[in-house]
């Protein structure tokens, strides 16, 4: 029971103890901290009871290099069912809940879809009372904060912990030591509660911080060697300092390898310790009590690390250790891009993790013998072996060393089975499954779009849809209800006005809330084709200049994306889009018809404003390249039709909501397979109306790239090929005209306001499949073999 008086007293007490202040003296961040700590007090007993309830049965453990959690306060209040109570209490205390929610920093623990998926999964596991623990790294500075200087991306440190972290508990008593060839470091766990919706269960996210064994050398300091005195401390803390440190040099690659081994070794040692407390050395039971999910290839070094622990430290035979290992691990593949299927030069392993390398060599040696016994040719063996040409292929190790490999969308899994991992599928047909991704409706509708959430509850008469999202299907009965359709449009307009106000405040750009909000928000990568979007905007600009009377619905194009610090071409695309924005937004003849905004520092809290306000969801990756996507699902749930290719989860979105309620364009996977060997982008460059004009702006002086060569490099990548890419490797020029025609269909459809509202409602009503609750239920039953335990 929520004790309002006690909660108020907790806030005032925490302000006094932690900041030495009374309520009327406290700053916003201090109030935020105190409110959050008061919630921690409120849940701590349930958290302890949940751990006790889980400890004697089988549990699952989700190992991920990223957990893109977003802000905690609002989401936790929603899940606890006390948001309105707390809002009222804070009003009585003259605290504005919106101000203190806004002061919270996004936890800098992830970057893109991989990390956000992990966060949605954690929410669903807790909501469904499933015994699942997340394991990762507590990065002190996340990936980076992004700002634009003269249109260029500039990275700054993301000190997300500057106000402290009220949502985690440091558990030094459960620290472990992780050993590398050149040093040892202490892994200190920080536990964050994952609060389920509509349940008392509180799950755990355990993140490891790297600390030195000896943090200060007094003798060196006394000798006035000040830098040397703290060298060990700095080198240790580097391991958990930044997510995905730049690895363009060997030092960066070695740091990334240390990060991966650091968190999986610490996590396995943590599991082994608790297992031995219950079962002593009966390790043949280990896989009966532990299901470990490897989220992509970053944690795959866990396979040889568990072998090392079982053989070297616990004295098991190779055969017993291998049987336990394979039956413990399962692996999620998130990509078919060759460059993203992680490989490591064996020299790094030999230098940093020599014993792990010996074990990988032995796994590979035994695998080759097994394949030869099956009659495999040397050529076929080389296609699947784990070490080839001094490169360790982590995806191969993951598939061979686990009992299940899953793709993350129907199309993605089909491509894995039939193309990219065909040899492995033939070898292990029973190990492959599909688990289409999902999103949590708690954060991505109930929290970020309270108006739409309330309307749905009112129309359905109950709020059970929040945990049973397929109930949204019942909304289809309102498809011809003009009152409901108009109300849906009014809600969208309200969210657009709120976003316009936010963008004016933080980006300094005025946008028209009556225009179509056309939004592409995701990681910046060539295959996601932000460049295709940019080409279309520039083409539309030129057509408007030629024909100022051209009849279009005003359009605001909004981008949000970070480019990896070492990804030169992606950073060039950001600069190109910002140059287009400068051209368009400063042209008084045009800027009332189209505007371009590239929001800075795209993150979860910004996404919570962008998804509900969007009219169009840009999902335009090259067919066959996006494994799934989850942004497409967030847009869909908020009533936004997809403008996209037949790729990833777009395929399933269209199957659920109908192609007539979305806007599909472009070459499909089968066509790309047929043409990719003979494809010549110059044919499209020369023949497609308007295309040459926009592509040539990369080199004809229209735009300024600050003499970096960025724009010319993009141009060359399209028409001549660059680095290892073929010319126009992602078929932008092939799909350009189809994309332009799809935009014309959007313009025409949007004018019929009630017709557009029907498309929006059909997307909402058919979003039920894309709940992460459904995805997690499938993992629990079909991969992890775990059952709910409700306290």
What does 655-681 look like in DSSP terms, one character per residue?
HHH-GGGSEE-S--HHHHHHHTTT--H
Task: Tell me, yes or no, if 522 is annotated catalytic.
Answer: yes
d(CA 530, CA 552): 22
| CA-closest candidate to residue 484, choices 754, 751, 752, 749 | 754
Q: Is 268 helix (H, G, I), strand (E, B) or coil?
A: helix
Q: Is the dihedral of CA 502, 507, 509, 515 positive or negative?
A: negative
d(CA 531, CA 546): 23
**Selected catalytic residue, list 199, 630, 642, 775:** 630
590 forms bridges with which residues in the sheet?
Answer: none
Q: How many CB atoms lie within 10 A of CB 121?
A: 28
Evaluate whether 498 touches 609 at the Cβ level (below 8 Å): yes
Q: How many CB atoms lie within 10 A of CB 182?
A: 10
Q: How many CB atoms lie within 10 A of CB 460?
A: 14
**Selected catalytic residue, list 204, 334, 435, 569:** 334
Task: Tell me, yes or no, if 127 is annotated catalytic.
Answer: no
Orientation angle between helical segments 568-585 and 530-546, nearest 10 degrees: 20
**Selected catalytic residue, list 206, 256, 258, 528:** 528
What does 713-757 look like in DSSP terms, one character per residue?
HHHHHHHT--TTPPTTTT-HHHHHHHHHHHHHHHHHHHTSHHHHH
| CA-closest candidate to residue 298, choices 331, 252, 269 | 331
Orientation angle between helical segments 28-54 and 73-80, nearest 10 degrees: 50
Task: Tell me, yes or no, if 528 is annotated catalytic.
Answer: yes
Q: Is 298 helix (H, G, I), strand (E, B) or coil?
A: coil
Q: How many CB atoms lie within 10 A of CB 701?
A: 8
595 forms bridges with which residues in the sheet?
Answer: 556
Task: Tell me, yes or no, if 334 is annotated catalytic.
Answer: yes
Task: Tell me, yes or no, if 523 is annotated catalytic.
Answer: yes
- Burial string for 396-410 (b: 16+ CB within 10 Å, else e) reads bbbbbbbbbbbbbbb
d(CA 466, CA 62): 24
Alpha carbon 301 to its chain's center: 21
Task: Kindly give the residue spans of alpha helices, DSSP state H, lying in 142-249.
Answer: 218-222, 226-229, 231-238
**Selected catalytic residue, list 186, 523, 759, 769:** 523
Cα–Cα distances in angstroms (integers) from residue 297 to residues 249, 475, 506, 565, in the given order: 21, 40, 37, 21
d(CA 574, CA 585): 16
Region of 695 on the Ramachandran plot (φ > 0 left; ψ -120 to 50 alpha; else beta): alpha
Q: How many CB atoms lie within 10 A of CB 787?
A: 12
Task: Tell me, yes or no, if 630 is annotated catalytic.
Answer: yes
Question: Quick one: CA torsion of 414, 418, 422, 426, rounded to 10 degrees?
Answer: 90
- Burial string for 53-90 (b: 16+ CB within 10 Å, else e) reads ebeeeebbbbbbbbbbbbbbbbbbbbbbebbeebeebb
**Selected catalytic residue, list 446, 571, 634, 743:** 634
Longest dimension (CA), the chain: 82
d(CA 256, CA 241): 11
DSSP state of 344: E
Task: Kindly give the residue spans of alpha helices, DSSP state H, lying in 523-567.
Answer: 530-546
d(CA 457, CA 597): 34
What does 467-497 look like in DSSP terms, one character per residue?
T-GGGGGGGGGGTT-HHHHHHHHHHHHHHHH
Evaluate whether 730 touches 714 at the Cβ level (below 8 Å): no
**Selected catalytic residue, list 442, 495, 522, 759:** 522
Give catalytic residue positions: 334, 522-523, 528, 630, 634
């Amino acid at each position: 029971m929520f004790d309002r008086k006690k909660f108020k007293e907790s806030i005032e007490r925490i302000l006094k103890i932690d900041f030495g202040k009374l309520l009327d003296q406290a700053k916003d961040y201090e109030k935020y901290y105190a409110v959050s700590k008061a919630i921690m007090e409120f849940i701590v007993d349930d958290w302890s009871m949940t751990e006790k309830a889980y400890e004697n049965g089988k549990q699952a453990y989700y190992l991920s290099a990223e957990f893109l959690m977003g802000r905690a306060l609002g989401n936790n209040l929603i899940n606890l069912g006390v948001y309105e109570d707390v809002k009222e209490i804070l009003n009585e205390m003259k605290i504005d809940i919106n101000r203190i929610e806004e002061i919270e920093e996004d936890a800098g623990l992830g970057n893109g879809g991989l990390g956000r998926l992990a966060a949605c999964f954690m929410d669903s596991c807790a909501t469904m009372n499933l015994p699942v623990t997340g394991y990762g790294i507590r990065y002190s500075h996340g990936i980076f904060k992004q700002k634009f200087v003269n249109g260029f991306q500039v990275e700054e440190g993301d000190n997300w912990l500057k106000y402290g972290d009220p949502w985690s508990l440091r558990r030094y008593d459960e620290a472990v030591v992780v050993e590398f060839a050149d040093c040892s470091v202490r892994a200190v766990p920080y536990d964050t509660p994952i609060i389920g919706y509509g349940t008392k269960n509180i799950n755990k996210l355990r993140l490891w911080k790297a600390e030195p064994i000896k943090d200060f050398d007094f003798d060196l300091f006394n000798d006035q060697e000040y830098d040397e005195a703290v060298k060990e401390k700095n080198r240790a803390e580097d391991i958990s300092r930044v997510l995905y440190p730049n690895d363009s040099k060997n030092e960066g690659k070695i740091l990334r390898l240390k990060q991966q081994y650091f968190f999986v070794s610490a996590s396995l040692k943590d599991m082994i310790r608790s297992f031995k407390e219950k079962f002593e050395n009966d390790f043949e039971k280990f896989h009966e009590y532990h299901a470990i999910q490897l989220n992509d290839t970053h944690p795959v070094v866990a396979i040889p690390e568990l072998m090392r622990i079982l053989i070297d430290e616990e004295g098991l035979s190779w055969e017993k250790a291998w049987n336990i290992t394979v039956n413990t691990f399962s692996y999620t593949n998130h990509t078919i891009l060759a460059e993203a299927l992680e490989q490591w030069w064996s020299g790094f392993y030999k230098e940093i993790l020599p014993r792990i390398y010996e074990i990988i060599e032995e796994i590979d040696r035994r695998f080759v013998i097994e394949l030869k016994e099956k009659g495999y040719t040397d050529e076929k063996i080389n296609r699947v072996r784990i070490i080839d040409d001094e490169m360790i292929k982590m995806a191969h190790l993951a598939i061979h060393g686990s009992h299940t490999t899953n793709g993350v969308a129907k199309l993605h899994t089909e491509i894995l089975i039939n193309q990219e991992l065909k040899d492995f599928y033939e070898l292990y047909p029973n190990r492959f499954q599909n688990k289409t991704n999902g999103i949590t409706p708690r954060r991505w509708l109930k929290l970020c779009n309270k108006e739409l959430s309330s309307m749905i509850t009112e129309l359905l008469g109950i709020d059970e849809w929040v945990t049973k999202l397929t109930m949204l299907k019942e909304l289809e009965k309102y498809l011809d209800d003009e009152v409901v359709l108009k109300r849906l449009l009014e809600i969208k307009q309200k969210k657009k006005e709120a976003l316009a106000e936010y963008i004016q405040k933080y980006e300094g750009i005025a946008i028209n809330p009556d225009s179509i909000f056309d939004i592409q928000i995701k990681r910046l990568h060539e295959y996601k084709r932000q460049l295709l979007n940019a080409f279309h905007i520039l083409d539309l600009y030129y057509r408007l200049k030629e024909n100022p009377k051209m009849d279009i619905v005003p359009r605001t194009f909004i981008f949000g994306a970070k480019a990896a610090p070492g990804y030169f071409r992606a950073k060039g695309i950001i600069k190109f889009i910002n140059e287009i924005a400068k051209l368009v937004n400063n042209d008084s003849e045009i800027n009332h018809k189209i505007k371009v905004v590239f929001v800075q520092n795209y993150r979860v809290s910004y996404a919570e404003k962008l998804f509900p306000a969007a009219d169009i969801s840009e999902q335009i990756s090259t067919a066959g390249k996006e494994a799934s996507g989850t942004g497409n699902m967030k847009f869909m749930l908020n009533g936004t039709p997809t403008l996209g290719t037949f790729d990833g989860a777009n395929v399933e979105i269209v199957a659920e909501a109908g192609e007539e309620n979305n806007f599909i364009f472009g070459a499909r996977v089968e066509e790309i397979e047929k043409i990719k060997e003979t494809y010549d982008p110059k044919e499209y460059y020369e023949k497609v109306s308007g295309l040459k004009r926009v592509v040539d702006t990369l080199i004809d002086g229209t735009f300024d790239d600050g003499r970096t060569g960025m724009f010319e490099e993009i141009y060359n990548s399209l028409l001549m090929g660059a680095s290892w890419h073929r010319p126009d490797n992602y078929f932008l020029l092939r799909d350009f005209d189809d994309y332009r025609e799809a935009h014309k269909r959007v313009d025409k459809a949007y004018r019929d306001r009630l017709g557009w509202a029907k498309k929006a409602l059909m997307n909402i009503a058919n979003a039920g499949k894309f709940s992460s609750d459904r995805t997690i239920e499938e993992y629990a039953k079909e991969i992890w073999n775990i059952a709910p335990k409700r306290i």
